[in-house]
Amino acid sequence: MKLPFTKMHGLGNDFIVVNCLEENCPDLAKHAAKLCDRRFGIGCDQMLVIRPSERADFKMDIYNNDGSQVEMCGNGIRCVAKYLVDHGATSKDELAIETLAGIIRPRLVGDLVEVDMGEPILEGKDIPTTLEGKILNRPLAVDGHSFDITCVSMGNPHCVIFVDDVAQAPVTTLGPLIERHPLFPKRTNVEFIQVLGPAELKMRVWERGAGETLACGTGACGALVAAVITGRSQREAVLHLKGGDLRIRWSEKNNRVYMTGPGEEVFTGSIELG
């Protein structure tokens, strides 16, 4: 059968979006790795599948390019919100979308999408890690190197490391080792952060199951939270990622994190499922 899809990206973090609201979609989980392959498939960081929801307006399932399913993707949910509005699936400009991380609420603001990403989780066992309590500036030894790590969950786990220069950070060499470190029973995303000022951070990210990507929305949120709780940043900042900028705000009033950025359509097509 032929599978219709839409290719989208959020700051270069790219996605295959599949609309299963009305279509009788096949089991896409087993096809995810092949569809995401940049040589033998369509090519993307993650596949986003939109389904009906009994708990919210819509449901979003997320599959990495290694075929694994994950809880949440910040750049992905902005793209899904834009897709749903631009393709006439809803007339609302504020949506409730069910994910494995809970109900996420994106809101269209002009050409951008603001997303209420919820409250950060700082308790080690809930991130999850094998440690209890908050993990702030805690030493971690990996392959002969030692880093101070701060851990946050935004519905998915993040290990944040502050460095002097992200251009020199060992993202591709140590990122995968930290991702699979025994400290993280469900693996982790790894963010390397350079502080440029009290409201300006620069970031590179190794995404769990996807490798280094041009942007990570939940990672940017986790990075800001980590910067605030370690005294490095104000509660609102611009984060410079390889693919562009995100504005992140951690509200002191309600403890929720808000992310604002673009979601852009590239092309539509269909592919034969083998």
- Residue numbers annotated as active site: 73, 216
Write the DSSP symbol of residue 123: B
Evaluate whether 27 touches 8 at the Cβ level (below 8 Å).
Answer: no
Tokens standing for residue 7: 């290719």
Q: How far is CA 77 from CA 8, 85, 162, 254, in A?
A: 11, 12, 26, 21
Whether the CB-CB separation of 84 and 52 falls below 8 Å is answered with no
DSSP codes, 189-230? EEEEEEEEETTEEEEEEEETTTEEES--HHHHHHHHHHHHHT
Q: How far apart are CA 113 and CA 92, in angstroms?
A: 13
DSSP state of 180: T
